[in-house]
Amino acid sequence: MQQRIITVILLIGICFGFTMLVYGMMDWRLPDRETGYSPEQPIDYSHRLHAGELQIDCQFCHTGAKQSRYAGIPSSDVCMKCHSVVTSSFDVLQQEQELADSEQRKPQPIISDKLRKLYDSLALDQDLKPKEDATATSIPWTRVHNLPDFTYFNHSAHVSAGVTCQRCHGPVESMERVRQVEDLSMGWCVNCHREVNKAGVNGQPVHASTDCSTCHY
């Protein structure tokens, strides 16, 4: 009896194991097991806050999306469009303001830890003046959505066709840290292309080619 149980476990397990193995082996180069990938970022920038609460348009920062293959990660000076003023969360600044008023003094600049990293990358000091000793360095973000080298995805084509960012990137505006939602497998791409050829993109008829050379060259 005991032996039989062990055999059963082993059999089930081995079957399971091998199915996993086979599944793993086919297309192992496609990042389809990357679904849910959500790496630590140098600055824990919140898309929920910026895209969700503050309703900032995706392309306000990811300017490449419309005109280039790459959506592009915004350069630090893009952040400075707002963060040259907003150096910390609003209520913290307000408290300081009130405190300063009560003490009849100028409010000291307050810089949140998160933004500190941004200013460091721009080599800015406490009062957001350029430091002379340091040089600006770009922030080493970790890429979340990766495609194999032999696959060419072009943001421009999809944006100008009216495909929403969420269609591939998921509800980024609700994510604290960006997470890969779709598996980005070839099948996923192709099936979307098939759908839109039938249904069109938000009403507009489109031609999404399923030729190999659409993505592979």
Partner 1 sequence: MPDSTTTLRPPLVTGDKTLSDVTRDICEPMARRPTALWWGAFSISVAALLMGVVAVTYQIATGIGVWGLNKTVGWAFDITNFVFWVGIGHAGTLISAVLFLFRQKWRTAVNRAAEAMTLFAVMCAGIFPLIHMGRPWLAFWMMPYPNTRGPLWVNFKSPLLWDVFAISTYLLISAVFWYVGLLPDLATIRDRSAPGWRRRIFSLLCLGWDGSARTWHRYETVYLLLAGLATPLVFSVHTIVSMDFATAVIPGWHATIFPPYFVAGAIFSGLAMVLTLMIIARKVMSLEDYITPMHIDRMCKLMLSMGCLVGLAYGTEFFIAFYGGNGFEQFVFLNRAFGPFAWAYWTMVVCNVGIPQLLWFRRVRASLPLVFVIAIVVNIGMWFERFVIIVTSLHRDFLPSSWAGYAPTIVEIATFIGSFGLFFTCFLIFCRIAPVIAIAEVKGAAHLKKPHAPQRESGAEKAA
Partner 2 sequence: MNYSELLNHASRRQFLEAAGFTMSLAALSGCWRAPTVTALPFVHQPEGVVPGRMMSYASTCGGCPAGCGLLVGVRDGRPLKMEGNPEHPLSRGGLCAIGQALPLGLYDSQRLAYPLRDGQQATWDEVDGAITKQLAALGDDDAVVFVTSTVTSPTLQATIDSFLKSFPGGRHVTLDAVSSSAILDAHAETHGARLLPHYRFEQAKVIVSFGADFLGAWISPVEFMAAWRTQRTPTPDKPVMSHHVQLEGRMSLTGANADRRFRLAPSEYAAVLSHLAQDIGKRAGLELPTGQPPKSPLAQSDLRDLGERLWNARGASLVISDSQSIAVQKLVNYLNHALGNYGQTLDIEQPSRQRQASDADVAQLMADLKAGKVAALLVAGTDLTQNLPQREELAAAIKKVPLVISFAERADDFGALAHYICPDNHPLESWLDAEPVSGVVSLSQPTLQPLGQTRSILESLQRWQGRRVSAYDTLQAHWKDVIAKRAKTSSPFQVFWDQAVHNGFVEATAAAAKTTDFQFDKVSFPESQPAGEEFELALYSKIALTDSRHAHNPWLQELPDPVTKATWDNYVCLSPAAAEARGIVEGDLVKVTTASGVSLELPAMIQVGQHDRVLAVALGYGVPGTDRFAKIGPQWLEARPTVAPGELVGQNAAPCIEYRDKALQLALTNVTLEKQPGRRDIAKTQRYPSLKVPANVAPPGAEVREAVQETTLAAFAKDPHAGTPEVHDIGAGQLWPDDHPKLGHHWGMAIDLNCCTGCSACLIACQSENNVPVVGKDEVRREREMHWIRIDRYYAGDDDDLQTVHQPMMCQHCDHAPCETVCPVLATVHGAEGLNEQVYNRCVGTRYCANNCPYKVRRFNWFYYERDDDLRNLVLNPDVTVRTRGVMEKCSMCVQRIEHARIEAKRLGVPLADGAIQTACQQSCPSQAIIFGDMNDPESRVSQAKLNPRRYGVLEEFNFQPSVSYQRVVRNRDEEIGEQHSTGGDHHA
Footprint of partner 2 on this chain (CB under 8 A)? Answer: 1-2, 5-6, 9-10, 12-14, 16-18, 20-25, 28-29, 31, 33-34, 39, 63-64, 66-70, 72-78, 121-122, 136-143, 146, 148-152, 154, 156-157, 160-161, 207, 209, 211-214, 216-217
Q: Which does 109 bind (CB under 5 to 8 A by kind): partner 2, partner 1, none?
A: none
DSSP string, 172-213: GGG-SS----S---HHHHHHHHHHHHHH-BTTB-------GG
Q: Which stretch binds partner 1 (CB under 8 A): 1-9, 79-87, 186-194, 201-209?
A: 186-194
Q: Which does 66 bind (CB under 5 to 8 A by kind): partner 1, partner 2, none?
A: partner 2
Q: Which does 190 bind (CB under 5 to 8 A by kind): partner 1, partner 2, none?
A: partner 1
Centroid of chain to Cα 34: 13
DSSP 109: P
The answer to whether residue 187 forms part of the interface with partner 1 (CB under 8 A) is: yes
DSSP 216: -
Nearest to 172, CA basis, from 51, 63, 31, 66 = 51
Q: How far separated are the first and last CA of the chain, in Å rounded?
A: 59
